[in-house]
Amino acid sequence: MRAPSFLARLRGRGRSLASARLTRRGTVVLAAGAALAVLGVTLGLPDLVGLGAAGALAVGAAWCWMAVRRIDRGRGALHVTRRVQPNPAVRGQFTTARLTVAATRATSSTATTLARLRISEQAAHELCDQGSLRAQVATVGDHIAVRYRLRPLRRGRWPLGPLLTTRVDLFGLVSATQELGDPTAVAVWPRTVELPVRGSRAFGEHERSASGARLASSDDSVLRDYVAGDDPRRVHWASAARHGQLMVRADESAGLPPVSVLLDRGLLPHPELAASSPRALEDGEWAVECAASIGVSLLQAGHPVRLVPTSLAPVVSGTGFRVNRSGEGPADLLDATVDLHGHHVVADADRSVVATSEALRRDRRPGEITVAVLGPLGSVARHTVAAMAGDGLHRALVVSARPWAPEHADALETVAALRSTGWHAALVDPSASLEHAWTLLVEGSR
């Protein structure tokens, strides 16, 4: 193993130093000291030279001390505790962050250090809908408490922190800036809307009977939210007390078929290209929110659900179906959407659809329902997806490009290919509401 070079050691030492700079007072003192020293030399007055040199040395000593001294080390070292609630957050909804700056071990100088400390939180711009964070700050004895609100703008996983601290020496000559604490990762879920699933023609008893899907399950007591008309005797009071809302035993869910929600990652831009294409970013987020809303709504209706994003190396057989046991199913499904992004290469989009569709067809369960959110597909990809049609129910939303875009023709051909093999397919514009897209999906023609 090679020893680190001198330059590497020097860079590491530089990172361990605080960023020190002169204050306005320090600049004046240094300039005045230099002027007095020059004037003293010119006039031959040693006392004047000594006075000027003393001022310059005071500024230099203060700069060295502030650059070397770190507030996260030593007896009175400060530490940061940060908590975000709720975490994961939801895109477009407010979440509250609280942080505390306190000494690891209180000393006589702790209060003085905290009183002279100015703090500034650093947050990824995806977490803020305004240019700066507006915080409530309170210094209480041996700690500083800060509270502020975030409104995430994008789904994903974004850093919050580290805290940026600024302090000034006792004489106000030099200020030093230093990062304190580690960043906190904030996961942001996509927005979801509640879609009417119970009793709908798309997933009702009639079509399940027609497909012969009547599944047995070892878990015949899945919990779901209470809806008007449910038998009060089915209320699960322990879960209702824990979640703060009525939960009922959905014993009938043992007969509900499993659902695979297929999401075409070709609809999502790659993170490196998202900033340069806000329209593609919004369309991609719409597709993720659509798939997530469908999955969560079906889960809450009692269906076992799995979300399957397209991939060049799909792992479908190990992807278990989630159930809404104690209300945890939707959270698990939404967690799976946080890190979704587009492909590095555009050509990988169709190849991923082909690979994932073939894997789903091999892993298909009796009576399984497939709901797909797809982009415009090429010839091979659309015929591979169309070939998935079989005994169960297959529905697809094909997210169309703008009518004047060249991909729009591929979207129309994708819908036609799916319908020709028995899929219920509908063309949808990403500017439409999710409720409207769901209506098209439920009432789509075959």
Any bridge partners for residue 136, and if so which? 147
Per-residue pLDDT band for 18 (boundaries 50, 70, 90) equals: low
The pLDDT, as a whole number, for residue 6 is 45
pLDDT digits (tens, 9 = 90+) for 107-143: 777 777 888 889 888 889 899 876 667 888 888 778 8
CB of 342 within 8 A of CB of 309? no
Burial 307-339 (b: 16+ CB within 10 A, else e): bbbbbeebebeebeebbbeebebbebbbebbee
pLDDT digits (tens, 9 = 90+) for 96-107: 999 999 888 877
Give yes or no for residue 326 having a pLDDT over 90: no
Q: What count of residues does the chain have?
A: 446
pLDDT digits (tens, 9 = 90+) for 222-281: 566 776 666 676 777 777 777 777 777 654 445 688 999 999 999 998 877 766 677 888
Lookup: tokens for 54: 């003393």
Lookup: tokens for 262: 């297929």
> How far apart are the C-alpha atoms of 282 and 287, rounded to whole Å?
9
Over residues 279-302, mean pLDDT: 92
Mean residue pLDDT across the chain:
83
Per-residue pLDDT band for 91 (boundaries 50, 70, 90) equals: very high
Distances (CA, A) of 433 to 64, 144, 293, 408, 436: 60, 44, 12, 19, 5
Give yes or no for residue 88 having a pLDDT over 60: yes
Give yes or no for residue 386 having a pLDDT over 90: yes
- Amino acid 299 reads L
Q: Strand 95-103 to strand 78-85: parallel, antiparallel, or no bridges (unpaired)?
A: antiparallel
Any bridge partners for residue 398, and if so which? 374, 427
Distances (CA, A) of 12 to 9, 16, 63: 5, 6, 20
The pLDDT, as a whole number, for residue 355 is 94
Lookup: tokens for 219: 């878990």
> How far apart are the C-alpha atoms of 269 and 155, rounded to whole Å?
13
Over residues 206-218, mean pLDDT: 42
Lookup: tokens for 401: 């490009």
- What phi and psi, each to the nearest 5 degrees, are found at residue 315? -115, 85
The pLDDT, as a whole number, for residue 347 is 85
Per-residue pLDDT band for 7 (boundaries 50, 70, 90) equals: very low
Bigger pLDDT: 124 or 402?
Answer: 124
Domains and CATH numbers, the chain: 18-189 (2.60.40.10), 216-253 (no CATH), 259-443 (3.40.50.410)
| Residues of the chain above pLDDT 90, percent | 47
pLDDT digits (tens, 9 = 90+) for 158-192: 999 899 999 998 899 999 999 998 999 999 999 99
Bigger pLDDT: 332 or 278?
Answer: 332
Which region among 3-7, 46-50, 376-380, 420-424 has the lowest average model confidence (pLDDT)? 3-7
Give yes or no for residue 361 having a pLDDT over 80: yes
Give, in degrees to the nearest 5, the angle at Cα 192 between 188 and 194: 155
- Amino acid 276 reads S
Those residues with Cβ within 8 angstroms of residue 333's Cβ, 6 or more apart along the chain or in another chain: 292, 295, 296, 299, 305, 307, 322
Nearest CA among 153, 403, 408 for reference residue 275: 153
Give yes or no for residue 8 having a pLDDT over 50: no
Burial 84-120 (b: 16+ CB within 10 A, else e): beeebbbbeeebebebebbbeeeeeebeeebeebebe
Give yes or no for residue 200 having a pLDDT over 60: no
The pLDDT, as a whole number, for residue 226 is 72
Over residues 10-28, mean pLDDT: 72
